[in-house]
A and B are shown apart, each in its own frame.
Chain A
Amino acid sequence: NAGVTQTPKFQVLKTGQSMTLQCAQDMNHNSMYWYRQDPGMGLRLIYYSASEGTTDKGEVPNGYNVSRLNKREFSLRLESAAPSQTSVYFCASSERWGTDTQYFGPGTRLTVL
């Protein structure tokens, strides 16, 4: 099993450009999450999907949109990138919504110029 996979690994955008980060999991998990990690700050939740067909805002949702394409895939879209969105983005999944352990992907390092 590959676990949680993310594409791309690295991306450089100019301010105002758009892009979609892709995430897939092969563990048959119901819940999926998007986090961002910035220096000196803990991982912060952007959006999550407790189950297929549902999405909800996390702690820092402004400037982002998400799509739960099916049970395996959960994408994060930046419609008009800003330098403040320069960060490392992690996707995670868990078996159920609750206190289940979340398993993380390898991350996407995004730079917005």
Chain B
Amino acid sequence: EDQVTQSPEALRLQEGESSSLNCSYTVSGLRGLFWYRQDPGKGPEFLFTLYSAGEEKEKERLKATLTKKESFLHITAPKPEDSATYLCAGTFTGGGNKLTFGTGTQLKVEL
């Protein structure tokens, strides 16, 4: 069964303190790796899609990278407004467009 595991479960950073969130997946034909941001009481908001190992995408203070076994979401000089839960999900060969989600990393950025 395809699985997506995120770590850490929770992360507390000071404003400006860069860090990375991890998303690892079982190697069974990854077709697409997705990152979403979810604020409390809201639906997941799409951030990035990665399809190939070595691919990178950036948006403001966020950069997502992909290897053959895992993806990282790098947060550079975070601000309090970056506080949210970050969700990783994958689609795998044989699963159609079924997204398999991790349980998320809850990020809190403090002043």
Binding site for B on A (CB under 8 A): 4, 31, 40-45, 48, 50, 58-59, 90, 94, 97-107
Contact = CB atoms under 8 A, between A and B. Distances in A.
B98 A99 contact: no
B58 interface: no
Given A43-B87, A99-B51, A99-B91, A107 B98 contact: no
B43 interface: yes
Interface residues of B, number: 25
Contact of B42 (A31, A59, A106): A106
Contacts of B96: 50, 97-98
Interface in B11-66: 31-32, 34, 36, 41-46, 49, 51
Contacts of A94: 97
Nearest to A90: B43
| Most chain A CB inside 10 Å of its own CB: which residue of B32, B49, B87, B97 | B97
Interface of B: 4, 31-32, 34, 36, 41-46, 49, 51, 87, 89, 91, 96-104
| Most chain B CB inside 10 Å of its own CB: which residue of A100, A101, A106 | A101
B42 A45 contact: no
Contacts of A44: 101
Closest 9 pairs (CB-CB, A-B) = A42-B101, A104-B43, A99-B32, A43-B101, A104-B44, A99-B31, A106-B43, A97-B97, A42-B103
A56 to B, nearest CB: 9
| Most chain B CB inside 10 Å of its own CB: which residue of A43, A100, A102, A104 | A43
Nearest to A9: B41
11 contacts: A31-B97, A45-B98, A48-B97, A48-B98, A90-B43, A99-B91, A99-B97, A101-B34, A104-B36, A107-B41, A107-B42
